[in-house]
Amino acid sequence: MNVHDSDLIESGLVKKGFKKAVSVEDADIVVFNTCSVRDNADHKVISELGRLKKNYADKKIVLAGCFAKQIKLKKEQNGNMYFDYCFAPEEIFSIPDILANNAAVNDIGGSNETRQDYYLAERPEEYLENAGKIEEYFYGKKPENDGTASVKITEGCNNFCSYCIVPYVRGRERSIPIGIIYKTVKNLIDKGASEITLLGQNVNSYVSPDDDKKDFRFLLNTVSEIEGSFKIRFLTSHPKDFNDKLIDTVCGDNKIAKEIHLPVQSGSDKILAMMNRGYNSADFLKLVRKLKNGNIDISISTDIIVGFPGETEKDFEDTLKLIEEAEFSSIFAFKYSPRPFTKAFKFNDDVLLEVKKERLERVFQKYKEISLRQCAR
C-alpha cells in the first residue's frame, strides 16, 4: 500500500513538471513516504530524518504517510525531527500542488487551506466529486517492467483490531468507485500488464460508493471480464469477510491467482478475541479447508503476531498447531509492538522481548518443517 502511495505521489509530481532525481544527492526535494505499523518502522523514520538533516540540510524534506499522520494526531513534533512539509495519507494528492506553488507551511507542515481530502468518506458527495482527481492520478500509472501493476480499491479500515494503528492513521474505510477501478485496470492491461494486484487494507469488504450491490465479488467478476491474458491478485483479505460466494469466485475463476494472503494473526481463541479479529481458530481452519477443497491449486500465506499481551506458552502452542493444520505456503511473522492510539496500547505488554524472539524463531522453524514436508510429497 505504501509503495502504491509513493507511486501516486511520484506520478502526481511528474505531471506537475517535477523531474525524478537519480539519487538523494541529486535532488532538491526529498519526499519521504512512511509506514507506522510497528515501532521499528517509526524508529527507521526518526533516524532517517536525522540523517537527512545532518547530510542534506539544504534540501526540502517532505514527510508523508502514516508516520506523518501520527505527528498530526499527536499535535506534537519531536525537536530532533526536521522536515519542511508533513502530509497524512489522505493528503498526498495535494503534495504536487503545494510543492509547485511553494505554498507556506504551518508548524507541522501541510496547509489546511490547500488540503484536499480526496478520500473523505464522511462527505460522500464531495468524495465522489473528487473521484475525477483520483482518476487522473490512477490513469497515469504504467505496469512495472515485469508486467505487474497494483490498483488501490479501498483506503483505511473499520476493523479496529486491537493492536493495529491503521484505522487511526489511514482513517475509516472508503472504497474507490468501481468505474474508476475498471478504467484503471483496463488502461494497465492495454499497456501490457500481465498481473494486477487489487489493494486495500481489507479488500473483501469493498463496496462501490455509488452502488452498494457492487461488492468485492462483483468487482472481481468485472475486472476478470476485461479482455486479455492476465492474472488478478488481491491484498489483503480479512478471514471474517471471506464468504462462500467469494470462495466460489476465487476458486472458479481462472484469471484469479490461486495464492491467497489470509492473515490469521494467532491460533489461540483467547488471543484472537483480545485482538478483536471476529473469528476463532475453528472458523479460520474451516475457511482454509473450503478454499483448498474448492481448488486443489490454492495456496494460502498468512501473517502471525507473536507475544501479544497475555499470550501464554499454551496460547502460542495453539498458534503452532494452527500453522501445522493450515499448511501455509508462506508466513510473515512479527513480534507484537504496542502502537499509540490502539486499544492494546493500554494492555500490559507482558511477554518479555526474549520470549517474543524465541517464539518468532519457533514460527519460522515450524514453517521450515512444513515446507520440507511439502517438498517431499
Q: Is 339 in the site for ligand 5AD (CB under 6 A)?
A: yes
What's the closest the beta carbon of residue 257 comes to ligand 5AD, in angstroms? Answer: 19
Chain position whose Cβ is nearest to ligand 5AD: 303
Its sign, for the CA torsion 276, 281, 282, 288, is positive
CB of 268 to ligand SF4, least distance (A): 17
Give the closest residue to 266 by CA, choosing from 346, 327, 313, 323: 323
Cβ closer to ligand 5AD: 184 or 237? 237
Binder of ligand SF4 out of 69, 152, 214, 238 (CB under 6 A): 238
Contacted by 18, from ligand SF4, ligand 5AD, none: CB < 5 to 8 Å by type: none
Cα dist. 112→86, 109, 167 in Å? 11, 9, 21
Sign of the CA dihedral running 221, 227, 229, 233: negative
Q: Which stretch binds ligand SF4 (CB under 6 A): 2-10, 118-126, 162-170, 284-292?
A: 162-170
Q: Judging by beta carbons within 10 Å of its beta carbon (0-12, 13-18, 19+), is residue 377 exposed, middle or buried?
A: exposed
> 3 or 24, CB closer to ligand 5AD?
3
Upper half-sphere CA count for residue 107 (Cβ side, 13 Å)? 8
Instruction: Look at residue 201 and give the partner it binds from ligand 5AD, ligand SF4, none, a contact being a CB closer than 5 to 8 Å depending on partner kind.
Output: ligand SF4
Q: Which three cell numbers stand for residue 152?
A: 488501490
- Torsion angles phi and psi, residue 357, rounded to 5: -60, -40
Q: Binding string to ligand 5AD for residues 298 to 337, with x set by CB under 6 A, is what?
A: -----x-x----------------------------x-xx
* Residue 19 neighbours by CB distance under 10 Å: 10
Q: How far is the CB of 161 from ligand SF4 (least distance, A)?
A: 3
Kindly indicate which of the ranges 132-140, 158-166, 210-218, 366-374 contains the residues binding ligand SF4, using the contact rule CB under 6 A. Answer: 158-166
Give the count of beta carbons closer than 10 Å to the beta carbon of residue 214: 20
- Which residues are at the interface with ligand SF4 (CB under 6 A)? 157, 159-161, 164, 166-167, 201-202, 238
